[in-house]
Structure 1
Amino acid sequence: MFKKQGLILLLVMILFSASACNLTKENTNGYSDKNIDSNSGQLNPPTNGPNEDISKGDQDIEVDKTKEQISSMSLEEKIGQMLVVGIDGYNLNSNTKNLLDKHKVGGIIVMGENVQDSKQLLSLINEIKKENQKNKIPLFMTIDEEGGRVTRMPKEFKKLPSNKVIGQINNPTFSYKLGSVIAEEIKAFGFNMDFAPVLDINSNPRNLVIGDRAFGAKASIVSSLGIQTMKGIQNQNIIPAVKHFPGHGDTLVDSHKGLPSVSNDLKRLKSLELIPFSEAIKNNADVVMIAHILLPKIDKDNPSSMSKIIITDILRKELKFEGVVITDDMTMGAIVKNYPIGEAAVKSVSAGADIVLVCHGYNNELEVINTLKNAVVKGEISEERIDESVYRILKLKEKYQLKDEIINTVDVNKINSKINNLLNSYVNKK
């Protein structure tokens, strides 16, 4: 009996001893012999312990501040960022104040009808920016300044040649310097975005709306000179908006007056009209403006500015454009003679446009704002879709470090001297 109990006790002791050895080699906390310092006998941190993973994870987390900013914005603020609007008169008025203060619009376009002279123009822009300083997000201050017949600059400034003249000279260096001097001219007043250069190919001599606004009739010339002008504009920290995608050069109808229809198919566009835009995108174009053109062989129901096929499928997916898409002016005849402007804006955003441009009419601007808001409330447009556009808009403003800074004076003589020197070097030389 006692011998049997002694044998059992001996077996238990042997088993306990073996277990203790195993615990020394690898304890329950994941430590092993290699974790024990041979000198101090203290435990070293585990090589694959949870503390190391947590620490590494903390270091890898990067907060996207733009997404955080968007998450704190109201729907009204988001929709406001998606509008660039025109204004009435030569001074800041109550309508413009309302657009800035209540509707938080993302940008202002100054038209020729808003310009008297340099002093008045600078005062107007400063008034607008001062009013917007109440808001957290700076404005796109935009203008159509192409040179040639499309200019909004005060008459004190020396005229710049048309793109047709630049195309005839066909010197990329000249195009770059011209883009730079245009940007310097508008920057002097506080503008930060130029709806230029024109990348349309003048393939139809009967097209009067484009005509001498194009660099030429060949894709190679338009691409080469247009991209250099774009880079010259960017060199002055001004945002260029290339236009008019997918190409306005083969139209007969002026989209200011009616809706042009062009029978070209996608194969034709890829072989000609899309080439300058594709090259501009490869060269870091920031903004693309969409034309109001019906291309029934591509989308028989919607003009390009409302076409998901053209904006999302062709521009975004095929040409891989990741920047900001803005419509041409929605108050042009091509739109308002054929569609309710609010409905047109909803279709444009649904198709992939980020910014709706509304150049004329306070009531038009309110209709677009309210219709877009209602479309989101009703679920016709998701708020996630709105957030995508606002993200691109805010990232662009951040990239160019936009600020609503007040400018005290404009040195017209200095800018005119630069224009004269440039023209004497390339245009006027014998």
Structure 2
Amino acid sequence: LRDLAAGVICAGFDESVADAIPQCRNLPLAGFVLFSRNADSVGDARRLSDALRKIYKDLPPILAIDQEGGRVARLREQAVGIPSAQAIGETRRPELAQRAGAQIGHDLRRAGINLDFAPVLDLALLSDNTVIGSRAFSSDPDVVTELGRAFANGLSNSGIVPTFKHFPGHGSTAVDSHYALPVVEADEETLRLRDLVPFARLLPDADVVMTAHIIFKAFDLDRPATLSAALLTDLLRKRMRFPGVCFTDCMQMDAIAQSVGSEEGAVQALIAGADCILISNSLDLARKTALAIEKAVESERLPLDRLGEAYSRVKTLRRKLSEPLPLDAAAPDPDIGKAIERAAAAA
């Protein structure tokens, strides 16, 4: 049970690698998420990812990062700079999105990363939405679908698993779920014709989706998507036929931490249908969360077969993860950033 509980958690850490590694040996996590505080160059990230990979005997760990391009790019040194999704969106050219994804994927493989929390499928619906803003390709669901698909294909072609986020859409609220719990009042029909379109089109063939800590009243009056069976089981699995791993966004964000709490939130997310719990900033909290999951199974709140289903989905994903590339592998497309900037300026 301990292995099952830890095996559905992906964690980040603030400690130095030397302090983190011994803790990780005793906690069989699904994997890790890396940030600039851990490594801001490809070389540093590679040293860290190699050390983390060594802990695992059979299946490799998930080694994830947020590398979207634009302002959300954790690795800036020794990597080709890629403009924001908004800039790619202005070009309306899927081949540029695909090349951007492929180049990012190449740099991540050199860094020993195997999964990217990108692309963003949220729509740029509100000018005052600072949490998404330039991270969105467009306000048009068709453009977002086309460019999101192309970017994800580029990542996949480079051997990196893409993540479609933030399901079911973060474009309709300007409230930042890092600091509060946003509520979207739009009715179901509006959401189906707008926010949900890119997800509905791309998720049936996808490996990974990430949830939004947002209440969508059309589907669930009081639970954010991350904790809602109406969204994660009925809509995502049954209606959209998503076959892959459902990651939560970080459970330390205030939308969850200040409402139900991170550990309780993890249990509720698994009950609702999530498969992998993201704890971005604390190995200690990851350990406590694993204990909370164990307790929830022992008290029969969380059915063992639901935890088993989540664990086996995560394991299936880990079997697909690619090996790193040589650190000195030549960039396939070093000029793609400039090509996007030129095309965006010309548009």
User: Which TM-score bucket, shorter chain as reference?
Assistant: over 0.9
**Partner of residue 59, structure 1:** none
**Partner of residue 239, structure 2:** 318
Q: Is the 8 A contact 1:92 1:128 kept in 2?
A: no
**Partner of residue 286, structure 1:** 207
Count of aligned positions? 344
Structure-2 change in CA distance of 1:116 and 1:396 (3 Å): closer
**Partner of residue 153, structure 2:** 231
- Aligned mate of 2:263, from 342, 348, 359: 342
- Aligned mate of 1:307, from 223, 228, 245: 228
**Partner of residue 296, structure 1:** 217
**Partner of residue 18, structure 1:** none
1:423 aligns with 2:344: no
Give SS of 1:428's match. Answer: helix
Q: Is the 8 A contact 1:202 1:211 kept in 2?
A: yes
**Partner of residue 267, structure 1:** 189
| Deviation of the 1:262 alpha carbon | 1.1
| Deviation of the 1:303 alpha carbon | 0.6
Q: Is the 8 A contact 1:83 1:105 kept in 2?
A: yes
- Aligned mate of 2:3, from 77, 84, 88: 77
**Partner of residue 329, structure 1:** 250
Distance 1:382 1:425 in 2: 51
Give SS of 2:342's match. Answer: coil
Distance 1:118 1:327 in 2: 26
**Partner of residue 57, structure 1:** none
- Aligned mate of 2:137, from 208, 212, 215: 215
Q: Which has the higher strand share?
A: 2
- After TM superposition, list the pairs within 5 Å mapping 1:397-412 onto structure 2: 397-398=318-319, 400-402=320-322, 410-411=327-328
- Aligned mate of 1:87, from 10, 13, 18: 13
| Deviation of the 1:258 alpha carbon | 1.1
Distance 1:92 1:318 in 2: 45
| Deviation of the 1:118 alpha carbon | 3.6
Distance 2:341 2:220 in 1: 42
CA deviations 1:301-360 (Å, max 9, x no partner) are 211100000100111111111111010000111111112211110000000000000001
Consecutive unaligned residues of structure 1, counting only runs of 5 or more, are 1-74
Distance 1:127 1:287 in 2: 25
Distance 1:423 1:115 in 2: 22
**Partner of residue 140, structure 1:** 62
| Deviation of the 1:424 alpha carbon | 4.3
- After TM superposition, list the pairs within 5 Å mapping 1:143-158 onto structure 2: 143-158=65-80
Query: What code does the residue aligned with 1:137 have?
Result: L
Give SS of 1:244's match. Answer: strand
Query: What code does the residue aligned with 1:334 have?
Result: A
Q: Is the 8 A contact 1:117 1:154 kept in 2?
A: yes
- Identity level (%): 31
Distance 1:401 1:156 in 2: 23
Distance 1:235 1:392 in 2: 22
| Deviation of the 1:402 alpha carbon | 4.6
Distance 1:198 1:355 in 2: 18
Distance 2:186 2:126 in 1: 12
Q: Is the 8 A contact 1:87 1:96 kept in 2?
A: no
TM-score (norm 2): 0.94
CA deviations 1:37-80 (Å, max 9, x no partner) are xxxxxxxxxxxxxxxxxxxxxxxxxxxxxxxxxxxxxx111122
- Aligned mate of 1:126, from 50, 72, 82: 50
Q: Is the 8 A contact 1:80 1:105 kept in 2?
A: yes
Consecutive unaligned residues of structure 2, counting only runs of 5 or more, are none
- Does 1 or 2 have the higher relative contact order (CA < 8 Å, sep 6+)? 2
CA deviations 1:239-278 (Å, max 9, x no partner) are 1110000000111211111111111122211111110011
| Deviation of the 1:361 alpha carbon | 2.1
**Partner of residue 102, structure 1:** 26
Q: Is the 8 A contact 1:290 1:327 kept in 2?
A: yes
**Rg larger in structure:** 1
Distance 1:81 1:339 in 2: 22
Query: What code does the residue aligned with 1:191 have?
Result: I
| Deviation of the 1:386 alpha carbon | 1.1
| Deviation of the 1:90 alpha carbon | 4.4
| Deviation of the 1:192 alpha carbon | 0.6
Distance 1:369 1:339 in 2: 16
**Partner of residue 26, structure 1:** none
Q: Is the 8 A contact 1:90 1:116 kept in 2?
A: no
